[in-house]
Amino acid sequence: MMLDAFAASTVAMATPIMLAALGELLVERAGVINIGIEGAMLAGAFAAIAAVHATGATLAGVAAAIAAGAAINALFALVAVNLAVNQVVAGTAIDLLALGLTGVLYRRIFGATGRAFTVAPMRPVALGPLARVPIVGRALFDQSALVYLAFMLVPAIAWTLGRTRFGLRLRAAGERPEAADALGLGVYRQRWIALVAAGVMSGLGGAYLTLAWANTFVEGITAGRGYVALAVVIVGRWNAWGVAAAALMFGGAMALQFVLQAAAPAIPYQLFLALPYLLTVAVLAIVGGTSDAPAALGEPYVRP
């Protein structure tokens, strides 16, 4: 039973990171580093629960999260792609904007100091007898629709990047943008498509946090998961399957902190809260590097 709970918690913790990281994989394959992924997740998280609180409809929350994440990334695309502003600076500004905007709206809607509220959780969808398989049944086959979506996106994105013309054009924009533009592939267009798609996935990652995991919203609820997603793309070597494996590893670290807090209550819980982030730094130090990164990653491109 303990293994069942740990496996289910691992998948739950990994899902928002996986959704955001798969979106970031598309973006980085197109040659852009989006530090603003944290802001897109936060905007999606707030928009989702605000919409559900107002309408009572889970689908309205999911739609609002998609719109919010896409809007945040569209703003980043305008600044970083069209205006060729430094991508790290632009992404950091987006994160600060989202943090401030969601905080202001939260206090505006729910009171000067904010008030605790909850919404009906997104119900899990059990896949028949598979949900009763020991250890992995609850973790993989008795989850919300967003979990299933995250896992289905892994082979879909792997196939798209590796086997389709769209994937080839996207990778060309990240490897040799000048040559891609000379061939008429439209680097700006490819990067915009990647960023908006990533915004949708980041928004869904945020929606998972508020609709399927916490069922409430607090300021800064993403708690650095967007930055972990950035690390997951590097650890996963810019490959969809590697990204999924890395997301599950970090999800396991996040689930483990709860186990350790219960097992060693005398130890300050802050040490356990830091565990996933310490793991992020350690893994990056061990397997980090840019040997597999797109050649033009992070370089602003100005069309001649």
Cα gap 11→13, rounded to integer Å: 5
Specify if 34 maps to a domain: yes
19 close to 243: Cβ distance less than 8 angstroms: no
Q: What is the pLDDT of residues 252-304, one digit of tens each?
A: 988 888 777 777 777 777 777 777 778 778 877 777 655 688 999 999 999 87
Q: What residues make up the domain containing 87?
A: 2-287
User: What is the structure's pLDDT at 66?
Assistant: 98
Q: Which residues of the chain have pLDDT under 50?
A: 1
Cα gap 255→247, rounded to integer Å: 12
User: What is the structure's pLDDT at 209?
Assistant: 96
Kindly state the helix (H) or strand (E) to which residue 142 belongs, with its residue range. strand 142-143
178 close to 184: Cβ distance less than 8 angstroms: no
Specify if 292 maps to a domain: no
Kindly state the helix (H) or strand (E) to which residue 126 belongs, with its residue range. strand 125-126
The DSSP symbol for 210 reads I
Q: How many CB atoms lie within 10 A of CB 206?
A: 36
Look at residues 5, 18, 53, 58 and name the one whose alpha carbon lies nearest to residue 212: 58
Specify if 264 maps to a domain: yes
Specify if 83 maps to a domain: yes
39 close to 97: Cβ distance less than 8 angstroms: yes
- Total domain count for the chain? 1
User: What is the structure's pLDDT at 160?
Assistant: 97
User: What is the structure's pLDDT at 2?
Assistant: 76
Amino acid at 211: L
Contacts of 62 (CB under 8 A, 6+ apart): 48, 146, 204, 207, 211
User: What is the structure's pLDDT at 202?
Assistant: 98
Cα gap 266→278, rounded to integer Å: 21
Specify if 154 maps to a domain: yes
Specify if 297 maps to a domain: no
User: What is the structure's pLDDT at 115?
Assistant: 58
18: domain CATH number is 1.10.3470
User: What is the structure's pLDDT at 131?
Assistant: 87
